[in-house]
Amino acid sequence: MSPFLTSKENIVVNLIYQWLGESRTNRTYDEYMEIASRFSTVEACHAHVNERLQKMAEAGFAPYQICYFKAGDRYPWYEDFPTSLSRETVRTALIKMGKPQNCGRGR
């Protein structure tokens, strides 16, 4: 697993930080870890993220499309802003942001 957040994982983290009333900018490592310690369970985060994405979709709000491009590609391609995300995407996003790795895998 790459240590860097994917576009979809970034969406997860943004929504979870909003849920906690926190900002993702200008934090020390210790502050990020303290926030990560307050992350809820994967199941609760997954439910919250998908609820928020569904409400955004119902309101017709899609802030951007996700652009994919890598070395060797002839041109970029775009995917619509998601209306739901998988439990695994939520789980990996939480792990990358500091939640312990035993946070509900396989349960």
Along the 107 residues of the chain, how does pLDDT read in single tens digits?
889 999 999 999 999 999 999 999 999 999 999 999 999 999 999 999 999 999 999 999 999 999 999 899 999 999 999 999 999 999 999 999 998 765 544 44
CB 70 within 8 A of CB 18: no
**DSSP assignment of 57-104, as one string?**
HHTT----PEEE--TT-SS-EEEPPPS---HHHHHHHHHHTT--TTSS
HSE (side-chain half, CA atoms, 13 Å) at 49: 29
Domain assignment of residue 85, yes or no: yes
Domain assignment of residue 72, yes or no: yes
Domain assignment of residue 102, yes or no: no
Domain containing 62: what range?
Answer: 7-96
What integer pLDDT is reported at residue 1 of this predicted model? 85
What integer pLDDT is reported at residue 105 of this predicted model? 46
Domain assignment of residue 68, yes or no: yes
What integer pLDDT is reported at residue 34 of this predicted model? 93
Domain assignment of residue 81, yes or no: yes
Domain assignment of residue 104, yes or no: no
What integer pLDDT is reported at residue 102 of this predicted model? 59
Query: What is the tally of structural domains in the chain?
Result: 1
**DSSP assignment of 25-51, as one string?**
SS--HHHHHHHHHT---HHHHHHHHHH
What integer pLDDT is reported at residue 10 of this predicted model? 97
Cα 28 from Cα 92, distance rounded (Å): 21
Domain assignment of residue 105, yes or no: no
Domain assignment of residue 50, yes or no: yes
